[in-house]
Structure 1
Amino acid sequence: MTHPVSAAIDSALDLSVVGGYTRLGLAARRRLPGWPPDSPSGALVGTHVVVTGASSGLGEACVQMLHDLGAHVHLVVRDEAKGEDVARGVDAGLARLTTWRCDLSDLDDVRDLAGRLFEAGVAVRGLVHNAGALPPERTESEQGHEQTMALHVLGPVLLTELLLPALTDDARVVLVTSGGMYTQDLPVDDPEYLQGEYAGATAYARSKRTQVEILGALQERWGAHGVAVYATHPGWASTPGITASLPRFERVTRPVLRSAQEGADTSVWLVATRPRRVGGGLWHDRRPRPTAYLGRHATTPADRARMWDWVAGAAGLAQ
């Protein structure tokens, strides 16, 4: 969005938060000069796209939208029956839809999923890491890591790393993050949330901050394989997860919440758009965004490097 007036309005919407994150902000941006065009019909014909957390909310919307663009969509879910229900809702004949069971917070399960995808010979054009949770109490993954960090960071990083040989030379990897990450510092001194009183919303935002701050390291590592990696935040979207985890917030903001499809728009657009956008950045409403505003919660290169070292070690990546 290079038009100066459009850019100024867009930035003002972002700084207002309510104006930028709700469906009102998306509707306004769509009318501004320079709004990127939608991907053409059939843009993903002949491609395979993997979507995690595909049994509801943003993940379910991604599945429908990617399928509509012609992709063969692979639904990665913890509950296989729910995933198959979503797939049948998209196409009763299950054409170009495959369901895979995996708990993304369990690194052994992630390794097993990667092996099964390899055995199936899937050439992956897009990988949308949408699986998410906001636990009310501190819980740990099978490997003993704090649950939100395992699910939102370690699992996605490991799965992508293991699938690198199966990714096409035009592959795009999308980490679905949250605007809530703007409220938290990078937890470089306490990634497992062992200090202080645990709060689920804080843990969620800390893990999402981590996703964004390791983008540079991920792009440097995976870019050599032809991969472009992005983080996207959907704004405030109406999903079952929001209703269950933040019921008061959902009740107050319900009139202006985005639909799941509106929340998933930029993730799908980044997977489908041509030419491919430069990787390594945070996106919202089809535009790169800063990772901090007014210097609040800004992160140093040294802290980003320390955080990446922890992620790589915890995920078992070769350095």
Structure 2
Amino acid sequence: MTTRPVPELFSRIVDTALDRTVVPGFTAVGLGLRRRLPGWPADPAPGALAGRHVAVTGATSGLGRRTALDLAALGATVHLVVRDTTKGERVAAEVDAAAGRPGAARVWWCDAADLDSVRTFAGRFLAADLPLRAVVHNAGALPARRTESPQGHELTQALHVLGPVLMTDLLLPGLAADAGRVVLVTSGGMYTQALPADDPEYRHEPYSGSVAYARSKRGQVELLPVLTERWAPQGVTVHATHPGWARTPGLDASLPAFSRALRPVLRTDAAGVDTTTWVVASEPAPEGGHLWHDRRRRPTSVLPGTTPALADRVRYWAWVAGATGLAP
């Protein structure tokens, strides 16, 4: 019988306590404490991404902008996949200046909720013949009212699930060329919701933007096993990362009361993207198919009634495959 060394066991106990009590674990307090615990994974080496290409959606502000800056600081050429190219060019100039390299960032137009736009973008990107180390699906929205994508899908599902799945599937040739990593940036809100297998489009009950957002994020993590099986034959791994509670323009706009109440302990944007950067740049790659928060694997369900039956996951994936036109 083997036993864990006391420092490692102590670290696990403290880390789990932070995670389960939510408020300290999701705020700046949690990351600050965890960094000081034994066993904290090493930072990616300087220049870890030199010569590599990474695509980041929703890169004009908040966590997407910070992800682009931090990946470029490690040597990556960052492809900013954005709806507003004017803002994208401003961020690209900022990334170039911070990295000290002209061309450290390039701007691509794409509406990640519009499946036709996703197909057009993927075709243009593949035509550039660039190997992809990673795609970071960061684009997000929390609409106050039920809104539909150009294809008629509920917006949070289209933006957080359908668009990312289709985009990744189309970009597999580029990802396979560099043992690529796919990161779905999720949210702790998903812990409060079950998988909406019966009503993914949110048609049959009064709409709540925050609930729809959390359900779509639940969908991301529940698809991890399915997407791992689908993309692993190409040498591509898929991960979900939970940034904790970070102060961003999106949080201030969509949940202003929450943002004001927790402002003293909210994470910075750099702290919010720490685990995403680590997943993309660390060697060897973290194990695929899992949810990560503060550089550790996390359970995908902690509340009763939020763990889906296999049949629910199968039905949800069948809906995703049908909506995106992919073979299930």
Class of the TM-score when normalised by the shorter of the 2 chains: over 0.9
Counterpart selection for 1:80 from 64, 79, 85: 85
Counterpart secondary structure, 1:269: helix
Deviations 1:269-288 (A, max 9, x none): 00000011111111100000
Whether 1:12 and 2:12 are equivalent positions in the alignment is no
2:95/2:104 contact within 8 Å kept: no
Whether 1:236 and 2:236 are equivalent positions in the alignment is no
* Cα distance in 2 between the residues matched to 1:276 and 1:246: 34
Counterpart selection for 2:34 from 8, 21, 29: 29
Whether 1:277 and 2:286 are equivalent positions in the alignment is yes
Whether 1:226 and 2:230 are equivalent positions in the alignment is no
* Comparing 144-153 and 91-100, the one that deviates more: 91-100
* TM-score, normalisation: structure 1: 0.98
Residue segments in structure 1 that go unaligned for 5+ positions in a row:
none
1:87/1:94 contact within 8 Å kept: no
Among all aligned residue pairs of Structure 1 and Structure 2, give the percentage whose two residues are the same amino acid.
60
Whether 1:211 and 2:217 are equivalent positions in the alignment is no
Residue segments in structure 2 that go unaligned for 5+ positions in a row:
none
* Comparing 1-10 and 73-82, the one that deviates more: 1-10
Deviations 1:88-122 (A, max 9, x none): 11224642210001100000000000011011112
Counterpart secondary structure, 1:40: coil
* Cα distance in 2 between the residues matched to 1:306 and 1:284: 27
Residue in structure 1 matched with residue 111 of structure 2 by the alignment: 103
Counterpart secondary structure, 1:114: helix
Counterpart secondary structure, 2:239: strand
- Counterpart residue type for residue 252 of structure 1: A
* Cα distance in 2 between the residues matched to 1:157 and 1:105: 11
* Cα distance in 2 between the residues matched to 1:240 and 1:127: 22
- The number of residues matched between the two structures is 319
1:169/1:225 contact within 8 Å kept: no
Whether 1:291 and 2:296 are equivalent positions in the alignment is no
- Counterpart residue type for residue 220 of structure 2: Q
* Comparing 249-258 and 92-101, the one that deviates more: 92-101
Residue in structure 2 matched with residue 62 of structure 1 by the alignment: 67
Counterpart selection for 1:143 from 151, 168, 176: 151
Segments of 4+ moved more than 4 angstroms: none
* Cα distance in 2 between the residues matched to 1:107 and 1:198: 23
* Cα distance in 2 between the residues matched to 1:105 and 1:62: 20
* Cα distance in 2 between the residues matched to 1:52 and 1:10: 30
Superposed displacement of residue 231, structure 1: 0.5
* Cα distance in 2 between the residues matched to 1:273 and 1:219: 19
Counterpart secondary structure, 2:183: strand
Counterpart secondary structure, 1:170: coil
Residue in structure 2 matched with residue 121 of structure 1 by the alignment: 129
* Cα distance in 2 between the residues matched to 1:125 and 1:90: 18
- Counterpart residue type for residue 279 of structure 1: G
- Counterpart residue type for residue 134 of structure 2: G
Residue in structure 2 matched with residue 254 of structure 1 by the alignment: 263
* Cα distance in 2 between the residues matched to 1:294 and 1:133: 24
Counterpart secondary structure, 1:81: helix
* Cα distance in 2 between the residues matched to 1:190 and 1:297: 15
* Comparing 307-316 and 131-140, the one that deviates more: 307-316
1:44/1:66 contact within 8 Å kept: yes
CA RMSD of aligned residues (A): 1.2
2:132/2:178 contact within 8 Å kept: no
* Cα distance in 1 between the residues matched to 2:200 and 2:309: 16
Superposition map of 1:40-51 within 5 A: 40-51=45-56
Counterpart secondary structure, 1:234: coil
